Amino acid sequence: MGASQDNPSDADLVRTVFEGNRGAYGTLVERHLRSVFAVAARILGNSAEAEDVAQETFLRALERLYLYDLEQPFRNWLFKIATNLALNKLRAHKRERILHLRAAENRRSEGGAVDLDVPSPGQWRYWLEQLDEPQRAAIVLFHFHDMPYTEIAEVLDVPVNTVRTHLHRGRRRLRDLMMHCQVPENGTWDIATPSS
């Protein structure tokens, strides 16, 4: 569908922002906020943190708008920023979890009670949390946002073959996890169907 004066393309809106019209950026935010939030939410598994990432994504995008290539899809550029921010949060959580587990291990060795806050199996959020960060991002972008390998490679800043590897290993890991855990037939996790 071609752009019109009533429905300008993302590139046209970016040009308008460069001309000094900040209201055009608000239109870009309205246009892409839901999908940016959805990517962050599925990577992080936490709506509140996904809101933070979505807000930070649009702030960073505005600050670095001069880096955006007008010939490329604006959505993909936003996804790249959001994915990087979400993965950084995941890595920070992983470090925190390691410290938490070490503290729990110390309490256990001292005879204290331990609460590891393990999520319940059967939900897609739980399964995705078991994957390495690049695998999780690739699975989310491919299965939930219907992105082709080439675009995922651009978002993750890796070769297309690396995307294939992340998807292959991620799917294999998910199968292995499900084989060792009873999943209710009415479980809410459904990775095969991209979500709108």
CATH 1.10.1740.10 domain locations along the chain:
9-92
Range(s) within the chain of domains with CATH label 1.10.10.10: 119-189
Q: How many CB atoms lie within 10 A of CB 66?
A: 7
Architecture of domain 119-189: Orthogonal Bundle (1.10)
Domain 9-92's class?
A: mainly alpha
Q: Is the pTM of this model over 0.85?
A: no
Using CA atoms, how far residue 165 sits from 27, 93, 156, 160, 168, in Å, is 36, 24, 13, 9, 5
Residues 138, 168: Cα–Cα separation, whole Å = 10
157: left (phi over 0), alpha (psi -120 to 50) or beta: left
DSSP 8-state symbol, 132: -
How would you write the pLDDT of the chain (196 residues) with one tens digit per residue? 455 567 899 999 999 999 999 899 999 999 999 999 999 999 998 899 999 999 999 999 999 999 999 999 999 999 999 999 999 988 877 766 555 555 555 555 555 443 434 444 446 777 888 888 899 999 999 988 889 999 999 999 999 999 999 999 999 988 887 776 644 444 443 333 333 3
